[in-house]
Amino acid sequence: MRYRNSWEDAVVSKMKKVADNVMQIQITPVGSTEVFTVGSHLDISVLINDLPEIRSYSLVGRYSPNSPYTIAVKRLPASRGGSKYMWGLKEGSKLRISQPTNHFELSFNTPDYLLIAGGIGITPILGMAEELMAQNDKNVRMLYLGRSEKEMPYINLSKKLLGQNLIVHFSDVDGFFDTSKIIDLSNTETQIYLCGPIGLMNAIRKTWENSPFANQNLRYETFGASGLFAPQAFTVKIPRFNKELKVKENQTMLKALEEAQIAVMYDCKKGECGLCQVDILEVSGDVDHRDFFFSEAEKGENKKMCACVSRIANGDVVIDTAYRGT
Amino acid sequence: MQSFTMNESFPLNAWYAVAWDVELKNELLPRTICNKALVLYRKKDGTPVALEDACWHRLLPLSKGSLREDTVVCGYHGLEYNSDGRCSYMPSQETINPSACVRSYPVIQKYRFIWVWMGNPALADETKIPDMHWNDDPDWAGDGQMILVHCNYRLVVDNLMDLTHETFVHSETIGDRNVAEAPFDVHYDENTATVTRWMKNIQPPPFWKGQLNKVFDHDGTVDRWQIIKFEAPCTVNIDVGVAKANTGAPEGNRSQGVNGYVLNTITPSTNQTCLYFWAFSRNYNLKDQSNTTELKNGVAHIFSQDEDILEAQQKAINENPDREFYNLNIDAGAMWARRITDNMVAKEKKD
C-alpha cells in the first residue's frame, strides 16, 4: 500500500562510520519519532546539483521509543548524487524527512525464514533479524554477502544476534556465490527477505523462479540504485524530436529527457512500475537494465528500457517515446 | 493522572472479535475494525484470513471482488492476492511489482469467535485473547449474536460495568429494586476491573425464578450474584446466577443454584459504531436446546433495550460537545475500565 508522505523537519544527531564507505546517520525529527515496523524506510529530501530530489533509505534496526531514526548510507563514487549529499551532512545539519513507511513488510505467518543481505542491503534486514530472533518459535537463518568484513556494516552485530544461524560469504575470499545454495537452505514454508545489489537480486530471483517454491515467498526491496555496470555518461538520440542528449554519469535518462522537455510518463522512479518505459530503436554497447519491471526475457530482447533507472554502458542509444502528435 | 476521560480511543495491540466462527465462509466478508476496512474469509482448509480491504493498485475494496479458491481477485483490474496479502498476478506485464501487497493481519479462531490483531504483528500473542471459554466449553451451553451498535464501544463497556441500569432499563425481566439498592465492591489490577454484587435472601426476579425452577422446585428466597469482570480493552464477562437462600453460595458453594455467564466483547468499528458480540452460557439443563434458544431470544430482547439507550446516549453526546459526564459511585467499575484502557492506549504510543 502506498501512503502519501507527510514531511517534517529533522536534525542529524549523529554521524558514525560503520564500515569502509558506509556512514551511519542518526536523524532526530523536530516532533517525535513515529512507531515503525521492520522493513520500513524514510524518504529524505536531498539536494542534487542544488535541486531537491527524494531518496529512500531503510531504517536500521527495530523501533525503540525516544531513539532517533537510524539509516546507513554507502558512498558510491558514481551515484546519482544522493549518497554524496548524505555524506556531506554534519551533526546538526537540517533535513526534511517523511514519516516511516513500509513497502517491505515482514510476515509472521510462517515458521521458517531465510534473510539475505548483500552489502549495504543489510539495512532493512538487520531489524528483521532482530524481530524474528525475538520470537521464540521461528527458525531463522541469515546469509550476509559482501566483499570483505571491513566493507560489511553491522557484521559483528549480526554475528552476535544470529550466532550459528549466520552464514557469511566474502567474495574476496570465497569468490562468486552459488545461488543454488539458497534452495538447499529452503523448504516450502521458507520465506526469503532479500536486499542487495542488482546482480545478486537477479541471480537469486532467477534461481527461485526455477525452484519448486512459491514465487511470493521471495520478497525483496530495491531502491533502484545499482546496476551491472558502473554508471557512465551516454548519448540518447530521439529522432522523432530530432534531438540528441547527453545523459551525465550522475543523471538519469528520465531527468535528461525532462530537462530537454521531452515528456515521459513516470511514477515510482525506482524501476518498479514500468510507466517510464521507452522504445529502444538502436543501441551500441550494453543496456544496463536496472529495473524490476521487465522480466529477464524482456530484458534480453532489449526492445524497451525504463528511463528512470536503466542506463547504457560503453555505448549510446536511439529511442522513441510515446508521443504520436505532429 | 486524570480520573476520568471521555476518550473514544482504542489500542491497536489487542485481539478484537471480528466475526462469529459460523459467519466466516470461503467468501469475502467486509468488516470495519478500529477504523480500518478489512476483508475476511476462510481458506478452503478452514484457516481464517484478514486482509486490508483496499487494492494496492487503485484502492478499490477487495471485498467488491471475488474469491477463487484461496486467492482474492480484485473486482476492478483483476490483480490477485494470496492469503498473506502478496500480489500474485498483475495484468499485462510479465513481472510483479515487488512492493505489491496489501496488509495481512494476524487472525485466530478461538471460543467460537474470529479474532484479529490490528497493531504490530510481532506482538500478536495468542495467550492475550481474552478468556471466553464458557462459549465453547462442554460443561456449558449457550449461544449469542453480533449486533452493530451506533455508539462508541466504550459506552457499551460503561453499560455492562454497572448493572444498576437493569432496574430501570430491564425492569420486567432481570431488573428490580434489589439491584439498584444492593452494595457492591470494585477491584482492579493492571488489566482487569471487577464489580461484585451479592443480593442475599431476596425474592428472585421473574427471569431467574424461571431458570431456577428448571432445575429445582423452589419457591422461596434466593441469594443472587453478579460478578462483572472487565478485561482490557473491551471484554466484559459477567458471572450471574441465583441459589436457594442460605445454602452457601456467597461462600463458594453454588450447588443449590443455577449459574450463567453473559459474555460480551465489544469491538470498535468506527469511533461511532461498534460490533457487539455477546453470548449467554449456562451450566444447567445443558441438553435442553429450547432453553438455549429461549435464553438467546431473551437476552437479545434485553440487549435491544440497551441498544436503544446507547444510541440515544451517543446522539446526545454528539449534540453536547461541550459537556462531560458527571460520575456517581455506581460508575466506579466503568471508570476503572476506562482508565485501564486509557493506560493501554498511552503505553502503546510510547513503545
Express each pLDDT in B36-83 by its tens digit.
999 999 999 999 999 999 999 999 999 999 999 999 999 999 999 999
**Which of residues A286 and A230 earns the better pLDDT score?**
A286
pLDDT over 70 at B317, yes or no: yes
pLDDT of residue A54: 86
Question: Which contiguous run of DSSP H or E holds residue A235?
Answer: strand A234-238
pLDDT in tens, A61-113: 999 988 999 999 999 876 667 888 999 999 999 999 999 999 899 999 899 99
- Interchain CB contact of B343 with A (< 8 Å): no
CA atoms lying within 13 Å on the CB side of residue A309: 23
Identify the domain boundary among B94, B127, B160. B127
pLDDT band at residue B27, thresholds of 50, 70 and 90? very high
Cell of B112: 467460537
> Average of pLDDT values for A264-287?
94
B104 with A109: Cβ contact below 8 A: yes
Q: What is the pLDDT of residues A216-273, one digit of tens each?
A: 899 998 766 678 898 899 999 999 999 999 999 888 999 999 999 999 999 988 899 9
Taking the CA atoms of B326, B152, B343 and A65 in sequence, report the sign of the dihedral they define.
negative
CB-based contact, B127 to chain A, within 8 Å: no
**B146 and B233 inside one domain:** yes
- How far apart are the CA of B156 and the nearest CA of chain A, in angstroms? 30
Please name the fold of domain A112-220: Rossmann fold (3.40.50)
Min Cα distance B24 → chain A (Å) is 20
Closest-CA residue of A relative to B123 is: A135
Contact criterion met (CB below 8 Å) for A63 and B146: no
Q: For residue A299, which phi and psi values (nearest 5 degrees)?
A: -65, -40
B124 inside 8 A of chain A by CB: yes
Specify whether B290 is located in the same domain as B169: yes
The torsion angle over the Cα atoms of residues B126, B141, B301 and B325, rounded to 10 degrees, is -40
The shortest C-alpha distance from B109 to chain A (Å) reads 15
A216–B98: do the CB atoms touch at under 8 Å?
no
**A175 and B CB contact within 8 Å:** no
In this prediction, residues A52-67 reach a mean pLDDT of: 91
CB within 8 Å: B94 and A298: yes
CA distance A295 to B92: 12
Regarding predicted confidence, which is higher, B157 or B5?
Answer: B157
> What is the Cα–Cα distance from A41 to A55, expressed in whole angstroms?
10
Pick the CATH number of A7-102 from 3.40.980.10, 3.30.559.10, 2.40.30.10, 3.30.870.10: 2.40.30.10
Give A221 to chain B, closest Cα distance, Å. Answer: 7
Chain B residues close to A38, C-beta within 8 Å: 122
Contact A134/B122, CB-based, under 8 Å?
yes
The 3-state DSSP composition of chain B as helix, strand, coil percent (nearest 5) reads: 30, 35, 40
Rounded to a whole number, what is the distance in Å from the CA of B318 to chain A's nearest CA? 30
Statement to judge: residues B224 and B252 lie in one domain = yes
List CB contacts (< 8 A) between A221 and chain B: 98-99
Beta bridge partners of A139: A112
Is the CB of residue B121 less than 8 Å away from at least one CB of chain A? yes
Residue B255 has pLDDT above 70, yes or no: yes
Residues B121 and B186 in one domain: no
Which of B83, B86, B87, B118 would best serve as a mutation to test chain A binding (most A beta carbons within 10 A)?
Answer: B86
Q: What is the pLDDT of residue A224?
A: 63
Report whether pLDDT(B136) > 60.
yes
CB contact under 8 A, A220 and B98: yes
Higher-confidence position of A16 and A109: A16
pLDDT on residue B1: 43
Question: Between chains, do B104 and A107 touch, taking CB under 8 Å as contact?
Answer: yes
The arithmetic mean of pLDDT across residues B159-181, rounded, is: 84
Residue B3 predicted with pLDDT over 70? no
Residues A90/A15, Cβ–Cβ less than 8 Å: yes
Q: What is the pLDDT of residue A221?
A: 86
CB contact at 8 A, B237 and B134: yes
Number of neighbours of residue A139 by Cβ within 10 angstroms = 14
| Nearest beta carbon to residue B121 from set A108, A273, A297 | A108
Is residue B154, in this structure, part of any structural domain at all?
yes
Looking at chain A, the whole-number percentage of residues with pLDDT higher than 70 is 98
Instruction: Tell me whether B221 touches chain A (CB under 8 Å).
Output: no
Say if CB B83 and CB B68 are below 8 A apart.
no
Confidence of residue B4 (pLDDT cuts 50, 70, 90): low
Name every chain B residue with its beta carbon within 8 A of the beta carbon of A295. Answer: 94-95
What are the beta bridge partners of residue B239?
B227, B261
Grade residue B104 by pLDDT with cuts at 50, 70 and 90: very high
Could you say which of B79, B107, B127 is where a domain stops? B127
For residue B82, give the nearest of A2, A216, A298 by CB distance.
A216
CA-based nearest distance B125→chain A, Å: 10
Taking only the tens place, the pLDDT of each residue in A156-180 is 999 999 999 999 999 999 999 999 9
Q: Check CB contact of B99 with chain A, cutoff 8 Å.
A: yes
Spell out the CATH class of A234-320: alpha beta
Spell out which residues of chain A touch residue B104, defining contact as CB-CB under 8 Å. Answer: 107, 109
Mean pLDDT over A121-148 rounds to 96
> Residue B24's Cα: distance from chain center in Å?
17
Domain extent listing, chain A? 7-102, 112-220, 234-320
Domain count, chain B: 2
Q: Nearest residue of B to residue A63 by CA position?
A: B351
Q: Which is higher by pLDDT, A5 or B265? A: B265
Residues B22, B74 share a domain: yes
Name the band, by pLDDT with cuts 50, 70 and 90, for residue B351.
Answer: low
Indicate whether B158 and B43 sit together in one domain: no
Strand partners, B145: B278
Could you tell me the sign of the dihedral formed by the alpha carbons of A207, A212, A215, A221, in that order?
Answer: negative
> Nearest to residue B13, comparing CAs of B129, B108, B104, B109?
B129
Instruction: List Cβ neighbours of B330 (8 Å cut-off, separation of 6 or more).
Output: B162, B164, B184
Tell me the C-alpha distance between A123 and A151, whole Å: 13
The percentage of residues in chain B with a pLDDT greater than 90, rounded to a whole number, is 85
Handedness of CA A204, A206, A210, A213 (dihedral sign): positive
The answer to whether residues B108 and B200 belong to one domain is no
**B267-276 residue pLDDT tens:** 999 999 999 9
Instruction: Transcribe A193-226 into DSSP letters.
Output: EEE--HHHHHHHHHHHHTSSS-GGGEEE---S--
Q: How far apart are the C-alpha atoms of A318 and B1, rounded to whole Å?
A: 70
B243: CATH? 3.90.380.10
DSSP code, position A105: P
Considering the domain boundaries, does residue B7 fall inside one? Answer: no
Cβ(B28)–Cβ(B72) under 8 Å? yes
- Which pLDDT value is given to residue A15? 97
B54 CB near a chain A CB, below 8 Å?
A: yes
In this structure, is residue B4 part of a structural domain? no
- Crossing angle (nearest 10°) for helices A155-162 and A122-134: 20
Confidence of residue A189 (pLDDT cuts 50, 70, 90): very high
Write down the pTM of the prediction.
0.87
- Assigned domain for B133 exists: no
Burial classification of residue B219, based on how many CB atoms lie within 10 Å of its CB (0-12 exposed, 13-18 middle, 19 or more buried): exposed
Q: Residues of A numbered 111-140 whose beta carbons fall under 8 angstroms of chain B's beta carbons: which are they?
A: 131, 134-135
Among A109, A223, A277, A289, which would you mutate to test the B interface (most chain B Cβ atoms within 10 Å of its Cβ)? A109
Closest alpha carbon within chain A to B81: A216
Note whether B53 and B121 are same-domain residues. yes
Does any domain span residue B74?
A: yes
Residues B117, B179, single domain; the answer is no
Which chain A residues are within 8 Å of B351, Cβ to Cβ?
Answer: 65
> Are A196 and A277 contacting, i.e. CB atoms less than 8 angstroms apart?
no
Q: Which residue of B has its CA nearest to A292?
A: B97
Q: Which domain holds residue B66?
A: 15-127
